[in-house]
Amino acid sequence: MTVPPIIAIHSRENPFVKDLRRLAQDTTAYRKQGRVWLEGDHLCRAAVERGMRAAVAVFSESFWPLVQQEFGSSAIKIVVLADSLFADVSGLESPARMGFVMDLPAPPAVQPGAATLVLDRVQDAGNVGSILRSASAFGFSQVLAIKGSAALWSPKVVRAGMGAHFALHLVEGLEAQDLEMLQVPLLVTHVHGGAQLHQAVLPWPCAWVMGHEGQGVSSELEGMASQRIRIAQPGGEESLNVAAAAAICLHASAAAR
What's the longest Cα–Cα distance across the chain? 61
Whether the per-residue pLDDT at 238 is higher than 90: the answer is no
CA distances from 238 to 32, 213, 232, 235 (A): 40, 13, 11, 9
What is the mean predicted confidence (pLDDT) over 58-86? 95
Mean model confidence pLDDT for the chain: 93
Lowest pLDDT segment from 88-97, 177-186, 228-237: 228-237
Q: Provide the pLDDT for residue 1.
A: 58
Q: What single letter denotes the amino acid at residue 162?
A: M
Q: What pLDDT digit, counting tens, does each position of 101-158 carry?
A: 999 988 789 999 999 999 999 999 999 999 999 999 999 999 999 999 999 999 999 9
Helix (H, G, I), strand (E, B) or coil at 27: coil
Q: Is 32 exposed, middle or buried (0-12, 13-18, 19+ CB in 10 A)?
A: exposed
Would you put residue 171 in left (φ > 0), alpha (ψ -120 to 50) or beta?
beta
In this prediction, residue 79 has a pLDDT band, given cuts at 50, 70 and 90, of very high
Q: What are phi and psi of 78, to 5 degrees?
A: -120, 130
Instruction: For residues 121 and 211, give the distance between their C-alpha atoms in angstroms, rounded to a whole number.
Output: 6
Q: What is the pLDDT of residue 233?
A: 81
Q: Which helix (H) or strand (E) holds 30?
A: helix 29-33
Q: Which domains does the chain have, with CATH numbers?
A: 6-103 (3.30.1330.30), 116-256 (3.40.1280.10)
pLDDT at residue 78, rounded to an integer: 96
Rounded to an integer, the average pLDDT of 227-236 is 86
Cβ(207)–Cβ(229) under 8 Å? Answer: no
CA gap 164, 141 in Å, rounded: 10
**In this structure, are strands 54-60 and 75-81 parallel, antiparallel, or unpaired?**
parallel
Question: What is d(CA 56, CA 141) in angstroms, rounded to the nearest whole number?
Answer: 27
